[in-house]
Every structure is written in C-alpha cells, then in structure tokens.
Amino acid sequence: MLTSIVLASGNAGKLKEFSALLEPLGLTVIPQASLNISEAPEPHPTFVENALAKARHASALSGLPALADDSGLCVRALKGAPGIYSARFAQTEHGARSDLANNQKLVQALQDVSDRRAWYVAVLVFLTHPDDPQPLIAEANWFGEIVETPRGENGFGYDPHFYIAEHGCTVAELNPSIKNAVSHRGQAMKILLSKLKERGVTLG
C-alpha cells in the first residue's frame, strides 16, 4: 500500500495542486524541500527526461517513492517555446526567476503575432525507488491561446494569459477545483492513477 510520496518540486503552486489531487485518496505528499532536498539539475531537452531526473534525485535522497512533474507552456508561433524553459524563460544572469517577467517576455514575443495558439504540457513520472526499471509515465496536453492582458487571480505561471475557449476565461479565472479536474496536470494524474491501479498499487 502506498501512503506517502516525495514530490520532486519546489514549486508551491504544484505542491498545492498535487496535494489537492492526491490527499483525498489517502496519499500524503511530502515536498522535497521539507526533507532538505535541493532541486535536481534539468539539463535534458525533453520534458520526460527532466521529469525522470527529478524523480530519481528525490527518491535517492529521501528513500521514498517519488513523483516528479515536468511541465510547461508551448506556443505554436514560437516553435514550441518556451517549452522546457517555461519556468526560467526570463531568468536573469543571477538565476532569479519571476512569473511576471516570464509573462512579460511571452507577451512581448507575440506582440505582432496573430496566431496565439498554445498548449500546456504535463509529464508525470512515478518511481517506487531510484533504480525502478519501469517508471510510470503519464503525459497530457491542455490547449488554449495566449491573451495579451492578464486576467484572474488564481493559479500560477502563465495562467493569467492562458485563455480556454470552452470555459470562456483564462486559467487564472477558473475555480481551482475545476482547473485540477481539467488541466494538463489533472489529466496526466488521472492517467497515472490508472497505471498505478493496473500495477496493483493501492493508495491510502
């Protein structure tokens, strides 16, 4: 029975979302920072490779099963950018990161662009231990478009600029419970939970 996992992320927004998704199922989500585990390097060119690296790092240092998420925003007109660099799109030479700076850079890059189509990507990796030969991997996309003016107070990252036509609002305007149900991360989590069930893993 799986009762607790370490979350291989220092992102407060992700911790909040994963806790909301998993704790009702009886699974305790432990942020790696609470175990004094630093963030793993992310040198790889793909979401899945970086997620695997983060999960192995957290599991090795905690001795616990680990869940890692590598996610980001891809914009069609920018050839998939910012992609794996989403969190550090506007990172300064001193390493400082800011959602506001990232969003400002994104809006500037699309200043004279009519095609605003974009999609969020989430790749989840679950390891029972750092040398798990068959990690569980789940991936999902969430499609929308980029709007110039930020709207809404919920969410994090690019959410104030990511407009979802079927909901008629940006992600930052969505109720968090709705976001968790329909987002890229929520979709990927449903896939991962299904794979855990197939593997015979019970939660709680």
Structural domain boundaries of the chain? 4-198
Indicate which residue of 69, 70, 99, 159 is catalytic: 70
pTM over 0.95: no
Q: What is the pLDDT of residue 128?
A: 95
Q: Is the dihedral of CA 85, 86, 89, 95 positive or negative?
A: negative
Does residue 199 come out as left (phi exceeding 0), alpha (psi in the -120 to 50 range) or beta? alpha
The answer to whether 128 and 134 are in contact (CB under 8 A) is no
Q: How confident is the model at residue 49 (pLDDT cuts 50, 70, 90)?
A: very high
Spelled out in words, what is the top-level CATH class assigned to the domain 4-198? alpha beta
136 φ/ψ angles, rounded to the nearest 5 degrees: -85, 130
Active site residue 112: no
